[in-house]
Amino acid sequence: MKRIIVVGTTASGKSTLARNLSQILEIPHVQLDVLNWGPNWTEVGDEVFFNRIKTAVQNDRWIVDGNYSRANHLTWPHADTVIWIDFPFWLNFYQSTKRAFIRAVTKEELWPGTNNRETFRMLFSRDSILWWFLKTYKSNRKKYLGIMSDPKLSHIKFVHLRSRLEVDTFLRELKR
């Protein structure tokens, strides 16, 4: 495992797992959200986003986390491992809700220098991360089930983690 992609629905734990993998394997972690979002919830645009990704993955070893299908052509052909965090709906919804509320209360800046913070107003808007979760959970599952059986991606080892216990076991085995 040298070039790893971590995917999963909103708030499934992609960045947390990627950070843990980065520490265990001593491989740089690239968070696609950091590369995509500019100040005040503006996306940087595909040209800037793609150039940032190209720069971030030019080395032989990296861990990328995020679900940006429009950028898959920059990472998936080079990946040797894709880890899909696929928790049950109820658990993922709980995690999404808990994270959104905590972020709204703490007003934590999500990505340094962007001033992007979740608010209670956003939480109940049509741009809410919870609404996004509800809209994408089912389609993400369908997409990743299809990708795992795509013969064009047979060079990739897929790791399908369905519970917190499986995530913990996976990390524990890597530490050995």
Checking if the pLDDT of 18 tops 90, the result is yes
Of 71-80, 97-106, 153-162, the poorest mean pLDDT is in 97-106
Nearest to 68 by CA among 85, 51, 46, 88: 46
pLDDT in tens, 57-77: 999 999 999 999 999 999 999
Q: What is the mean pLDDT of residues 43-49?
A: 96
3 state SS for the chain:
CCEEEEEECCCCCHHHHHHHHHHHHCCCEEEHHHHHEEHHHEECCHHHHHHHHHHHCCCCCEEEECCCHHHHHHHHHHCCEEEEECCCHHHHHHHHHHHHHHHHHHCCCCCCCCCCCCCHHHHCCCCCHHHHHHHHHHHHHHHHHHHHCCHHHCCCEEEEECCHHHHHHHHHHHHC
Checking if the pLDDT of 80 tops 90, the result is yes
The pLDDT of residue 117 is: 85
Q: CB of 15 within 8 A of CB of 168?
A: no
Q: For each of the domains in the chain, give its residue range(s) and CATH number, in order of start.
A: 3-88+137-175 (3.40.50.300)
pLDDT in tens, 111-131: 888 888 888 888 888 878 899
Average pLDDT in the chain: 94
The pLDDT of residue 125 is: 86
pLDDT in tens, 159-173: 999 999 999 999 999
| Helical pair 129-148 and 89-106, crossing angle rounded to 10 deg | 140
The pLDDT of residue 57 is: 96
Of 11-15, 37-41, 110-114, 138-142, the poorest mean pLDDT is in 110-114
Q: What is the mean pLDDT of residues 72-97?
A: 96
The pLDDT of residue 109 is: 84
The pLDDT of residue 113 is: 82
The pLDDT of residue 122 is: 83
Q: How far apart are alpha carbons 79 and 20 in whole angstroms?
A: 18
